């Protein structure tokens, strides 16, 4: 079995009101030196295969077709 | 006019839409469940508002991948009129039938209020019963109505007159770029909008500004 982690983040230049609110809350907790905060999503996915190339291709397809909205989001895939 | 309303788990404005279509056209719409792979011959297909699949992943993302949406895409390609309201708009964007995306409201708050809308293009199948530039009142109720498109897409839809409704008179409730409240596809037969015209069609609603949208479609269907 292959385990993978897919990370989806907002593209540069796309406003992130939730990240902004979190940024403000971190400052409110008196953390100093907090710069921009961007919120994203993490998906841990198990794949019933030993074929890493096939897994990589499937995961890319999953990102393009469902996990990310490529109008506003980028994704990265890490197979462990 | 023959119409169909798409139903998915978590949508909750389908009953309002069915009531509005019944009242205005005199005929109840057909209802179509998400697992259907074919749609009946109708003049108008409506995807109503709500919270399909609990807004999991992204608003409308899971609904957009259900079998019925392939059938909606086929009908849209044939030129059948398709309208998505609120969550329905989000679903049409996620399905790739309209350009851009809807993001969390800039205020981070759910907004439920009346806004002013300007009819930015009265020359569409959905807006011909309004006059160009007309300001109407319409209710909104959403958490993710902040329209976004990359600069190139935005310039294209603005240039092609695809922006059909804009929030007017400082009532933009969500931070939407260019005050965009509703757009059509390039062919002009698919409309998505955040406001709820189905909730303002008779005096008991406090106004009838939503009615001409349905009447526009009806006048074409004959």
> Across the interface, do A72 and B105 touch by the CB < 8 Å criterion?
no
Please say if the pLDDT value at position B222 is more than 70.
no
- Known catalytic residue at B114: no
Q: Which residue in the list B59, B86, B94, B142 is annotated as catalytic?
A: B86
Judging contacts by C-beta atoms under 8 Å, the chain B residues touching residue A67 are: 57
Neighbours of B162 (CB within 10 A): 24
Segments making up each domain of chain A, as ranges: 2-79
| pLDDT score, position A13 | 87
Q: DSSP E strands: which ranges in B107-194?
A: 111-119, 135-142, 146-148, 163-168, 180-184, 190-193
* Cα A71 from Cα B17, distance rounded (Å): 29
Judging contacts by C-beta atoms under 8 Å, the chain B residues touching residue A69 are: 58, 61, 94, 101
- B120-171 pLDDT per residue, tens: 999 999 999 999 999 999 999 999 999 999 999 999 999 999 999 999 999 9
* Cα B195 from Cα B137, distance rounded (Å): 10
Judging contacts by C-beta atoms under 8 Å, the chain B residues touching residue A21 are: 108
Among A14, A17, A66, beta carbon nearest to B65: A66
Please give, rounded to a whole number of angstroms, the shortest distance from the CA of A78 to a CA of chain B. 20
ipTM over 0.85: yes
B164 membership: H or E segment, kind and range: strand B163-168
Residue B151, C-beta contacts closer than 8 angstroms, at least 6 positions apart: none
Kindly state the percentage of chain A with pLDDT values over 70. 100
Give chain A's mean pLDDT. Answer: 95
Domain B3-221 annotated CATH 3.40.50.880: yes
Give the strand pairing for B81-85 and B190-193. parallel
Highest CATH level, class, for A2-79: alpha beta
Kindly state the percentage of chain B with pLDDT values over 70. 100
B14-25 and B211-221 helices, crossing angle to 10°: 60
Please give, rounded to a whole number of angstroms, the shortest distance from the CA of A55 to a CA of chain B. 21
Which residue in this structure is represented by tokens 């108008």? B44
B220 — pLDDT class (breaks 50, 70, 90): confident
| pLDDT score, position A17 | 87
Please give, rounded to a whole number of angstroms, the shortest distance from the CA of B55 to a CA of chain A. 14
Q: Which residue in the list B38, B186, B198, B215 is annotated as catalytic?
A: B198
């Amino acid at each position: 079995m292959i385990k993978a982690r897919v990370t989806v983040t907002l593209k540069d230049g796309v406003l992130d009101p939730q990240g902004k609110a979190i940024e403000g809350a971190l400052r409110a907790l008196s953390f100093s030196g907090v710069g921009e905060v961007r919120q994203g999503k993490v998906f841990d996915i198990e794949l019933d295969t030993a074929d890493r190339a096939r897994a990589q291709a499937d995961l890319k397809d999953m990102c393009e077709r469902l996990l990310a909205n490529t109008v506003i989001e980028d994704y990265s895939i890490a197979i462990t | 006019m023959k119409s169909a309303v798409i139903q998915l788990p978590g949508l909750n404005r389908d009953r309002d839409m069915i009531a509005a279509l019944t009242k205005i056209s005199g005929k109840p719409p057909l209802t179509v469940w998400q697992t259907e792979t074919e749609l009946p011959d109708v003049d108008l297909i409506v995807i109503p508002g709500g919270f399909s699949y609990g807004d999991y992943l992204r608003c409308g993302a899971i609904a957009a991948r259900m079998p019925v949406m392939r059938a909606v895409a086929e009908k849209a390609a044939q030129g059948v009129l398709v309208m998505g309201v609120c969550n329905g708009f989000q679903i049409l964007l996620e399905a790739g039938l309209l350009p851009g995306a809807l993001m969390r409201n800039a205020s981070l708050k759910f907004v439920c209020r009346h806004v002013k809308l300007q009819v930015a293009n009265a020359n569409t199948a959905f807006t011909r019963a309004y006059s160009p530039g007309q300001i109407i009142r319409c209710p909104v109720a959403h958490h993710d109505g902040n329209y976004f498109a990359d600069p190139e897409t935005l310039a294209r839809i603005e240039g092609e007159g695809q922006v059909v409704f804009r929030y007017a008179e400082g009532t933009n409730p969500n931070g939407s770029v260019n005050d965009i409240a509703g757009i059509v596809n390039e062919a002009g037969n698919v409309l998505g909008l955040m406001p709820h015209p189905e909730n303002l069609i008779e005096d008991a609603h406090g106004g009838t500004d939503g009615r001409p949208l349905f009447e526009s479609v009806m006048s074409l269907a004959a």
